[in-house]
């Protein structure tokens, strides 16, 4: 149960946002995330840095920064996680190995995890916006859980066009479902709705699939392209 809760909480620190093209200058997106009666602001900032796309996601006292390849599915090469002032981690991929280093409560943390050839994706909104344009129905990928700091294999599947209501208006979207074969995440599902005309993530939903645990829903409330 704790593993499911930890993953449910961490998914949307990393499971967000997107443009169909790499922004030439900084662009910012603000989401409102609701879980039960709790409402949290989530801010996403994207900008091009050298040959990579840098995405910063801030939520409460948690900040993640990912550097992603603008080609293919937008694979991640470097990821940073900061939780307040007590925890700080850096993850780098070299071939099929992830090197994880950092500290928690003053104690050092070092770990190496092996992958296969599947892409490592931490900036999921950006990657899924690119995935929508491909002819593939499914995408298997690695992503890192915040709690255990270990890679988890997930699958994204296209669910076709769906019209949803946003701020009283009907919006045509492309829907993607995320699932896992992991025994601890078997019941968990996540869904993303990308606006059809520009590929912007306008809504997401995480359902733990366990009675008594609240569904999390995030909705775009503002887009600032500077």
Q: Which residues contact 135 (CB under 8 A, 6 or more apart)?
A: none
pLDDT of residue 226: 54
CATH tag, 2-225: 2.50.20
Confidence band of 225 (pLDDT split at 50, 70, 90)? confident
The closest alpha carbon to 35, from 170, 219, 193, belongs to 219
Are the C-beta atoms of 109 and 100 separated by less than 8 Å?
yes
For residues 106 and 205, the model is more confident at 205
Per-residue pLDDT tens for 181-201? 887 778 899 999 999 998 999
pLDDT of residue 145: 76
pLDDT of residue 24: 55
pLDDT of residue 11: 46
Round to whole Å and give the CA distance between 203 and 216.
Answer: 11
What's the distance, CA 124 to chain centroid? 4
Per-residue pLDDT tens for 142-185? 999 766 788 999 999 999 999 999 888 999 999 999 999 887 77
């Amino acid at each position: 149960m704790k593993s499911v809760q930890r993953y449910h909480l961490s998914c949307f620190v990393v499971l967000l946002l997107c443009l169909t093209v790499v922004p030439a200058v900084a662009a910012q997106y603000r989401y409102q995330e609701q879980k039960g009666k709790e409402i949290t602001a989530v801010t996403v900032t994207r900008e091009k840095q050298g040959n990579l796309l840098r995405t910063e996601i801030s939520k409460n006292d948690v900040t993640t920064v990912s550097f992603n390849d603008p080609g293919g599915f937008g694979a991640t090469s470097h990821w940073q996680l900061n939780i307040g002032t007590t925890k700080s981690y850096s993850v780098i991929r070299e071939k099929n190995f992830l090197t994880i280093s950092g500290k928690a409560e003053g104690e050092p943390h070092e770990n190496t995890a092996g992958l296969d050839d599947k892409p490592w994706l931490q900036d999921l909104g950006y990657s899924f916006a690119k995935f929508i344009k491909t002819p593939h129905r499914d995408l298997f990928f690695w992503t890192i859980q915040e709690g255990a700091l270990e890679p988890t294999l997930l699958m994204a599947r296209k669910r076709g066009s769906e019209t949803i209501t946003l701020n009283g208006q009907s919006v045509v979207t492309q829907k993607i479902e995320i699932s896992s074969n992991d025994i601890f995440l078997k019941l968990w599902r996540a869904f993303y709705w990308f606006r059809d005309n520009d590929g912007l993530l306008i809504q997401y939903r995480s359902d733990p699939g366990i009675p008594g645990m609240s569904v999390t829903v995030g909705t775009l409330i503002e887009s600032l392209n500077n």
